Every structure is written in C-alpha cells, then in structure tokens.
Amino acid sequence: MSDKPGNDAILEHDKPGSDKQEPIKEGRAGFLARLNALETVVLAGILLIALAGVMLVGKGFYMKAKAEFSQVLLKRSFEAQLQGETNAKPWPWADFSTEAEITALRIGKTAVVLAGASGEALAFGPARLSNTPVPGELGTSVIAAHRDTHFRWLKDVKQGDLLVITRKDGTNLTFRAGTSRIARWDESGINANAPGRNLVLATCWPFDAIEQGPLRYIVNAELVEDAGPSTLAAQGEPGKLPVKSF
Amino acid sequence: MLLNTENTAKPPRRITGRQIEYLILTALVALTLSLLFVMGFFSHAMAETNDSKPQRFAGYVRPNDMGAGALLFPSKEPGSFVEAPRLATDVVIDVNGPIIRTRVTQRFQNPSKGWVEGTYVFPLPENSAVDTLKMQIGDRFIEGEIKAREEARRVYEEAKAEGKKTALLEQQRPNIFTNQVANIGPGETIVVQIEYQSSVHQSGGEFSLRFPMVVAPRYNPDPIVQTVDLDVKTGYAVNDPVPDRDKIAAPVLDPTENAKINPVTLTVNLNAGFPLGTVTAPFHQTDMQTVDDMARRISLKGGSVPADKDFELSWNAIAGKTPNAGLFRETQNGKTYLLGFVTPPAASAATETPAKREVVFVIDNSGSMAGPSIEQARDSLALAISKLKAEDKFNVVRFDDTMDVHFPSLVPATPDNRENAIAFVRGLTADGGTEMLPALEAALRTQGPVEPGALRQVVFLTDGAIGNEAQLFEEISKNRGEARVFTIGIGSAPNTHFMTKAAEIGRGTFTLIGSEDQVAARMGELFTKLENPVMTDIAVSFDGANAQDITPNPMPDLYRGEPVVLTAALDGASAAGKLQIIGKTGNQPWRIEMDVAKASEGKGIAKLWARRKIDDLEANAYAVNDAAALDKQIETVALANHLVSRVTSLVAVDVTPSRPAGEPVVSTDMPLNLPEGWDFEKMFGENPQQAIPEGQRKASLERSEQQASLIADRMAAAPTARAASVIADAGKQVDLPQTATLADRNILIGLLLLAFALMAATTFSLWRWQLRGLVLEARDRVR
C-alpha cells in the first residue's frame, strides 16, 4: 500500500510534493488506495454482500422468468403435438415431454402439464406424477406445480369450479373441483388406485410462505362423466379460452 | 460539505471520534455475523424439513423390496409396511415336459389386537401366468374369480364396505402384482394360495427352473433419523411424536433363526419327458428320490437353511438322449393349442468359420444418462469395440438431441480404428435431450449395403427414456432389412418394455446392465451371441391345419444351445397336419417337419399360449390406434383363460360352506370343512416337526412369540374393519413433490442483503469521512 502515491500523500506528510496530483483531486483519484487494510476489508465485505444480494435477486427473477417463458414454448410444442406431430419438443435439448393442458375456466388460467414431476420438469411447468395414472384414466391422477409460479392460482379454485384437461391425444376432459385440504407431503392420503376417475392438484402451502415446507395444499376433483357445455365450449371456441399462460 | 464540517471539529472530539469508529466497526461485524447466522439457520431448517421422511426404519419394508412371498401390513410409519409373521410356506412345483405349474401356499398371522388390511406381494419368475388365488382368512374361505379390472375393483370395494372378507389380485406391471386382503380380524390366521404357470428354461442342453426365495433385508438396525419440523410461524419445533423411537430396538434376526421360525417346504415333481442325466439344485440342500428314469421327486432337506438365493433346479438328459425337438398339445374349447420346441443342430455350426460382422454401435448420451449410466455405457461400448476382430467392420453413432456418426462409413476394425473409436466413446458426456429417431435412421439406413455373407448388427445402448416409441418401432420394422437390432439397457431403471420390444422387432436380443459390476459378465454373454448365430431367417408354417397366432412373431435368430420355442392355436379339437420350421444355418438351409397329430398331451398349454398372446398384443400396441379395442382383445383372451393381465384382475368371493343353524360354533382356529378341491392340509397340520429337542423348541416358540409381539407393536391396526381400510389406503398414498421454488426467498434475502450493503456503505462512508477529517486535523496540528 505504501508504494501507492495517494497513500503516501496522506500518511507521510513530510513528502507532500512527491505526488504530482493536487491535494483536492486526491479524494477522487486515489479513493481506494487511500484506505488502510481494515477499511479495505470492510469495503470488500460490503461489496461482497451487495454482490450476493444482486445474485440472489437475479437468480430469483431468473427462476420466475424461466417458468413464464418456458410455458410459451411448451404451449407451442403442445399445440404441435395436438396437430399430430409426435416428436414436438419445446426446445431442442429439453429432456421431458408435454402431456396435457390444464385450464381453470372460471379463473381463466391455463398451463401446459409435463410428464413426470422431477424437480427439473417442475421448474418449467406443472407435472403429472409418474406413479399416478393419466388424467381421465381409472384412479387418481396427481398434478403438482409450484405455488409461486404455475399454480399461483390454485388458492382461488373453489368447490364446483370446472377444470378442463386437454390430453395430448386431443381428448377434452372436464373435472369438477371438490374439497380442498392441507396435508404433509408424505401423509397426502392420496391413493393412486382409488375408485373412480379423479384428479388431484397439489402445490405447497402456505401460499405466501417464503421457505420450502412440508405442507401441501390439495384440491380434489372428479371427472364430469357427461361432459356438457363447458367441454364443448372448450373444443368449439378455442378463442374464448384464456390465452395467458398462468 | 461533509469534509468541511469535519474539518471544523474541535480537538476534544477526537476521542469520541475514535470511539464512534470502533462502535461502528463492532456494529458492522455484529450485523454481518447475525445475517450469516440467519442465513445458515434458514438453510439448516430447510435441509431438515426436506429430509423429514423416515429413512427406512429397521423392520419396515416396502412392497418393492420383497424378494419372496410376503404379507404386508400398514405400519405406523406412513408409506412403510411391516411383514406379517410367516408361519409356514409350502411350495409344490410340478414339471411336466416343458411346462411348470407352481403352487405356493403361505400361512401368515395378524399378531395385533386390531383389524388390518394387508397386501400380499409375490415376485413372479419371467413370463409366468397367474390364474388361481385361494385364501383363508380366519374361518372364512375366499376364492379368486377372473373379472375385468374395473369390475373386479368394484366388487372388492363393495365387499370391503360390507365388512366381508375379500381379496383383489391386480397386475401392476408384467410380473408384478399386488394382492389386497381386506378385513383381517385380530389374531386371525391368513392362508394364501396362488398358482401360476411358466415354461421350462432351456439353454445349451440344460433345463432349469427358478423359484424366488430371497429374503428381503429385514431387521437390520438402521440409524434412527430424528426429524425436526420447524413451525413456519413461530419458528419452534414440535417434539417427535414417537419420543422413545430409539428404544424400539431392532432385533437382529439371523437367517438360521428365521428359518426355524418360518419353515419352508418345497417339493418339485420333475417329469422331464426324457431320460434324466444329472439333476442339481446349486444353492440349496435337497433330498432326491428317483421315481423312474424320466422322473424325480426333489424336496428341500428338512431344516435346511434357505440360502439368500432363489431356489434353482437344473437338469439335463443322459448323454446322447438330449431331445432336439418336442411337440405338445392341449385341446380346450374346441381349439388345439400347441407348444413346440426345436434345438437346431449345433455341431455343424461349430466347425464353420464364424461369419464376418458389420456392427453399428449406437450410444445414447442424453441428459437422462447422466451419472453412473453413462459410465456403464462407455465401459460396455469400449469393451464391445475392443472385442471386434480385424476382419469385422464397424461404426459408432452417438446421440442426444444432436447426433454424430463417428466414421463416414463402416470401417475395418483395425487396431488404429478401434483405438480411435474408443477414445471417442471415452470422451462422451451426458447432456441434452433424447432424439433417438435420427440416430436409428443413421444406423439402419445410411451404412451402405450389407456385404454378401456378412452379418449386420446394430447394437443400441440407452436407458430408453423416450416418448415416441411407436415411431421408433415403425422405423425398425420398416428399415431393419438384413440387420439385427440388439438393445442394451443401461442404468437402474431403464425402459425395458421399449428395449425388449425393439430387440424383438429387430430380431435381436435385449441385455440389461443394472450396475457397473455386471458390465463384463453381461457383455460377455452378448458377445458370444453376437459372434455365434446358429440359425437365422426362421419361419414357421402349418401344412394342412388352419393355424392362427403363432408366437413369437417374427421368430428371433437362434444362438448356440438355444431352442426355438413356439406356441400356436389351431382350429378344431382334433387338429392334424404338419408343422414346418425352416431356417438357415450359415448359408445352408435347414428344415424340420413335425406331425401335429403325434403331439403328446400336455396340460396348461392353452394358458401359456394366452400369456404369450397377451404379450404380443401388448407389444403391438404401437401399431393399433384404437386403445379400447386392444384392451378388449386382451380382456377376451385373459377372461377365456382365467389369467390376470393389465385389464383383468382376480377378485375373491366368499365361498365358505355355510354352517348348519343348530351346529355349535367351534374354534375359529380350525376350519370345519374345506371347500371341495381345496388342498390346504399342509397348512393345517402343526408346523413340520424336525425332531427338535424340547428345550430348543421352547426357545424357538418363545422367539416366534417375541417376533410376533414386536411386529404387532409396529403395526397400525385399527379397532374396526372399516378404520383398517382407511389406514391401508393412507399407506398407499402418493408422496407429493416439493412445489415451492426458492425464488421468492432468494429475492427476499437478496433484497435484504442489498439493503444491508447500502446501509453499511453509508455508515462506512460517514465513518470514512470522519476519519479523513481526523487525519486532516492531525496534520493540521502537526503543522
């Protein structure tokens, strides 16, 4: 440090003229250099903390942006799949496949559902747990998604709401939401082989918590066997369906 | 400006300035420390909540762990089960020519004082067909009836709701089924009897059978994992609901003890249909009786300790009498079912020089192969390349969502080329998506025509994590040409359905490599096959008989020592005509004819045929657009032959003989009379006595009681039958994944950090300027 001209100028005042710079300019030009060891450490610490903060905020927003943007791509590939393209991939290096689209009619939200709820898939969209049947098949199908992105709207689903699932084979299925409850993730009480054709939507609870916790919010739904106007509407007038992805 | 004010500070304030300086510094350090602490605390709490699933407590099992038949009760740990005490197991295996019929009878007990709903699991050998289920629960008898899956489930649920004894046997995946048993009362004994059919395995003149007997790792004391759940609002953790969990000490049952408590009797009635040479059971001690030159009766030696190995029995014919062909038939419902096998002549093939080979290796390096899978794939492939002979030709294709063909065309397997390819393979890393089709196309279509006399082989290494199976099957069946497609499944859970079927369509074989240490052995087996095809282009036809459904279709190539095994259904109860099998050994045509009318009678052939037919239907699902029609077809075949399949289940119906009204109710331990055709006597006698001295016997009884009470402690039994079913349902629950991202938390912590940094920076600058002021002041004073 002592070899830095600015430092010398201050600490060794018997050689004030050794520096070419004017004393008034010193405050600006040699700011860093004029700090002693302790001060440098403190400043570096502050900078590090600030950097960590920026990174964390950036990472958080990146996760959210990824979730939003991927849904657009997923939607595109899912539509291609509906057109009969079997090998549609949302992006070339994606290692999972789209399976269905879920629409909450009253709330006006829709999202593309992936197959297999690995942590990776969940970052991009809601996913059906691979150990449960496909929606509309016998048993209870479970679709899970993040509470802070794709299933942010799940708390607004009320008893009696209609949920439309468009499967990749083009089938439209209407489910009616029933009761909702809160359970631990490993005590969900969901039986994949339960009688009937059921759908369960699950996300984390409490909704506004900032930590990951063991509790899950579970909405039960049952297939409306005699798919009436809602399904027809969904089939006939796609324009009426909400376009926004979340 | 600040500077100016500081400049005007008076000397006495200098000391206070120093103090402020230290104060601020201390505050900074303290703040940073507390922030770090809070962050660490957060992540710590998270780690604990994520991990809160009990890590396989001692004595608790899961259905997939079971290596032998067992009855599982729901336990107090959600999602885990405890094994019901197995009082006795009796196995009778009848071998008649090529057909094995196995009857397993097991006796269990509900040691608790409450009601339970249990799950019976039994690992089946490959390609076996379950057709019979009989049970006794307490004093009631129930017998399985085959029904469409949905209907069976309805019947079961209804019976359960009415509090009746009932059982449901469903197929989960081929060779994995579950049997739910409802309404088991306190202290009741359960006897389960299942029967299944399979065929004798033949290879290289050796005939063999296998019976699953591996005892799952039980009662191994595992570390207790204490879980802490922090309340989101208060931040406090509530105590573990089972405070003395570590006092439920896990007893270490060594297998010898276990065998004394749970005796197993096993009898094989072997009727080979040809003069027997040697008969051996490699892993167990047996008693063998000679019935005649073609038949043996083998039983497990009394008191022998079941090794931690499946029971295997292998036999062969006396020298020179090894059958090279056989034809069996069964007439059922106006149809004749045939089972034929032919072992082609091997001697001539051995003297021939092995054919030149043209091998195209295809390796999957997509993201799903990451970790041990890609290592195994690399090792396997490098080994395969190094084993090529100089006159062979080869190429390597790798794919993820992109693909590379390593050499522009097939190249001779010179040492240089092999080195080059191995280096390429060693350098592969797993990343990206799985686009299998282009790679397959490249391997099948763009490698040029097959040289006359050469064998084109495509060896495919993948975990099969793909979604477009149908397209791939189509590609293989359309463009395979002369090529044979061999699939190698990599990793712990490869898509075996896809790979088995792909190999079948490609007329090759499927090899499964589950772990690193299997690479050498399994690949070795595959190389022997690849190098020694005995017969190719096999076709089967019937002359003078209307044959339908010859399976397998197409016929695979034969490798040394393997027989052609086929089943077929013929019209008419008294079918006549000739069965013709043609093929090619090297370049030499081969042909055999068998007279259908001369086939000997065999039992259970119709069931074997049905099982293979269902397999074929399932496997061809990719070609059928109408899934419902396919299900219907499978259902028809399965119902006609009383088989459990994906769409049919066995549901048990109460068939207990009703007790005359005046008769007194006798002890429930012993049933009054067995329904006709039931054969449980082994199960009702006392446990087979092996002349154990009184003292030992007492000790073993005590031990078994101890074991029972221990299991009862862990069971989640219910006071009523209905409550038991609720508990059982909860035990089968689906675990939900973590569905909260850390995004919000990250943003929040990030913002906090930024705010803190801002604050610290302000403080620092204040402090800094003040310091500067002090320094300037000091300079002034020196002047």
Distance CA B134, CA B192 (A): 6
Mean pLDDT check: name the lowest of B109-123, B556-570, B713-727.
Answer: B713-727
Ordered by start, the domain boundaries in chain A are 88-240
Give yes or no for residue B362 having a pLDDT over 90: yes
Query: In the block, which residue shows the tokens 């050469």?
Result: B454
Q: Are β-strands B455-462 and B357-364 bridged in parallel, bridged antiparallel, or unpaired?
A: parallel
Chain A positions touching B400 (Cβ under 8 A) are 93
Residue A202 contacts residue A144 (beta carbons within 8 Å)? yes
> How far apart are alpha carbons B641 and B650 in whole angstroms?
12
Burial of B537 from C-beta contacts in 10 A (0-12 / 13-18 / 19+)? middle
Q: Between β-strands A109-115 and A127-128, what pairing exists: parallel, antiparallel or unpaired?
A: parallel
| φ, ψ for residue B684, nearest 5 deg | -100, -20
Nearest chain B residue to A145 by CA distance is: B739
* Other Cβ atoms closer than 10 A to B84: 28
Q: Is B636 helix (H, G, I), strand (E, B) or coil?
A: helix
Nearest CA in chain A to B739: A146
User: Residue A208 in 3-state DSSP?
Assistant: coil
**pLDDT of B431 over the 70 cut:** yes
Report B:626-665 residues touching A (Cβ under 8 A).
none
More confident residue, A212 or B587: A212
Give the closest of B402, B745, B764 to A211, CB-based: B745
In this predicted structure, the answer to whether residue B421 has a pLDDT above a threshold of 90 is: yes
Residue A207 reports pLDDT greater than 80: yes
Kindly give the pairing relationship between strand B140-148 and strand A127-128.
Answer: unpaired
Report the distance separating Cα A228 and Cα A90, nearest Å: 32
> Strands (DSSP E) along chain A, which ranges?
98-104, 109-115, 127-128, 139-144, 162-167, 172-184, 197-204, 215-223
Amino acid at B643: L
pLDDT, residue A55, reads 92
Mean pLDDT of A187-207: 81
Terminal C-alpha separation, chain A:
56
Q: Is the pLDDT of residue B382 over 70?
A: yes
**In which band, very low, low, confident or very high, does the pLDDT at B425 lie, cut at 50, 70 and 90?**
very high
The whole-number pLDDT of residue B755 equals: 93
CB contact B760 to A (< 8 Å): yes
Does residue B248 or residue A4 have the better pLDDT?
A: A4
Region B100-128 average pLDDT: 80
pLDDT of residue B156: 85
Q: State mean pLDDT over B147-158.
A: 86
State the Cα–Cα distance between residues A77 and A27, nearest whole angstrom. 59
Q: B38: which residues sit within 8 A by CB, 6+ positions away?
A: none
Which chain B residue has the Cα nearest residue A63?
B743
What CA–CA distance (Å, rounded) separates A69 from A125?
Answer: 10
Q: Which amino acid is residue B460, in one-letter code?
A: F
DSSP state of B770: H
Grade residue B394 by pLDDT with cuts at 50, 70 and 90. Answer: very high
In tens, the pLDDT along B748-761 reads 899 999 999 999 88
- Give me the mean pLDDT over the B589-596 stretch: 83
How close does chain B come to A160, measured CA to CA in Å? 24
The token duo for B628 is: 């419902």
- For residues B255 and B406, which has the higher predicted lDDT (pLDDT)? B406
Most confident of B91-100, B183-192, B530-539, B680-689: B91-100
- B734/A191 CB distance under 8 A: yes
CA-angle at B737, arms to B735 and B743, nearest 5°: 160
Question: What are the two backbone dihedrals, phi and then psi, of residue A49, each rounded to the nearest 5 degrees?
Answer: -60, -45
| Contact between residue B771 and residue B777 where contact means Cβ atoms under 8 Å apart | no
**Chain CA centroid to CA B280, Å:** 28
Tokens 């609002």 appear where? B233
Decide if A209 and B757 are in contact by the 8 Å CB cutoff.
no
Residue contact B736–A202, C-beta within 8 A? yes
Query: CA of A182 to nearest chain B CA: how many angstroms apart?
Result: 12
Q: pLDDT tens digits, residue range B237-275?
A: 444 333 333 333 333 344 444 444 556 788 899 988 788
Please give the CATH number for the structural domain made up of B325-347+535-622.
Answer: 2.60.40.1230
| pLDDT of A4 above 70 | no
Cβ count near B37 (within 10 Å): 10
State whether residue B701 is helix, strand or coil.
Answer: helix
Which of the given ranges, A117-131, B188-202, B552-566, B767-781, has the highest pLDDT on average?
A: B188-202
Alpha-carbon span B522 to B668, nearest angstrom: 53
Phi–psi pair at B280, nearest 5 degrees: -135, 145
User: How many Å apart are CA B288 and CA B280, to the nearest integer?
Assistant: 10
Side chain identity at residue B341, one-letter code = F
Summarize pLDDT for B623-645 with one digit per residue, the tens. 666 778 888 888 988 888 888 88
Beta bridge partners of B582: B539, B591
Collapse the DSSP code of B80 into the 3-class scheme (helix H, G, I; strand E, B; otherwise coil) and give the result: coil
The beta strands (E) that lie in B122-231 are given as 129-137, 140-148, 166-173, 176-184, 189-199, 201-203, 206-211, 229-230
State the angle between helix axes of B519-531 and B372-386 in degrees (0 to 180), rounded to the nearest 10: 40
| CATH class of residue range A88-240 | mainly beta
The answer to whether B154 contacts chain A (CB < 8 Å) is yes
For residue B312, the surrounding DSSP H or E stretch is strand B311-317
A82's tokens: 């509906």
**Mean pLDDT lowest among B36-40, B129-133, B162-166:** B36-40
Distance between CA atoms of residues B682 and B543, nearest Å: 48
B47 burial (CB, 10 Å; 0-12 / 13-18 / 19+) is exposed
* Residue A180 tokens, joined: 């909702």
pLDDT tops 50 at residue B57: no
Name which residue leads in pLDDT, B135 or A231. Answer: B135
Indicate if the pLDDT at residue B349 is higher than 60. Answer: no
Which residue type, as a one-letter code, is found at position B729? D
Specify whether domain B355-514 bears CATH 3.40.50.410. yes
- pLDDT at B420 > cutoff 90: yes
Mean pLDDT of the residues in chain B: 73
Res. A50 pLDDT band, cuts 50 70 90? very high
Q: What are phi and psi of B682, to 5 degrees?
A: -55, -35
Q: How far apart are CA B178 and CA B176, in angstroms?
A: 7
Give start and end residues of each alpha helix (H) in B492-596. Answer: 496-505, 519-531
Asked whether residue A109 carries a pLDDT value surpassing 70, the answer given is yes
Question: Any idea which of B213-227, B351-365, B600-614 has the lowest mean pLDDT?
Answer: B213-227
* Cα–Cα dist B623/B617, whole Å: 10
Unique residue bearing structure tokens 């942006």:
A65
Which pLDDT value is given to residue B82? Answer: 76
A50 with B42: Cβ contact below 8 A: no
β-pairing, B129-137 vs B140-148, is antiparallel
Q: How far apart are CA B441 and CA B476, in angstroms?
A: 9
pLDDT at residue A121 in the model: 76
Q: Specify the higher pLDDT residue, B48 or B771.
A: B771
Q: Which pLDDT value is given to residue B223?
A: 34
In A, minimum Cα distance to B79 occurs at A186
Q: Please, what's the b/e burial string for B200-216 (b: 16 or more CB within 10 A of its CB; e: otherwise)?
A: bbbeebbbebbbebebe
Q: Decide if B31 contacts B756 (C-beta within 8 A).
A: yes
Round to whole Å and give the CA distance between B81 and B64: 11
ipTM above 0.85, yes or no: no
φ, ψ of residue B195 in degrees (nearest 5): -130, 140
Task: Give residue A42's identity as a one-letter amino acid code.
Answer: V
Structure tokens at A210: 């900032």
For chain A, how big is the Rg over CA atoms in Å?
A: 28
Which residues of chain A have a CB within 8 Å of the CB of B161?
none
For B525, other C-beta atoms within 10 Å of its C-beta total 12
Q: Which CA distances in Å does A6 have to A31, A32, B27, B102, B779?
A: 8, 9, 29, 94, 15
| Residue B303 confidence (pLDDT) | 57
Distance from CA of A133 to the nearest CA of B (A): 12
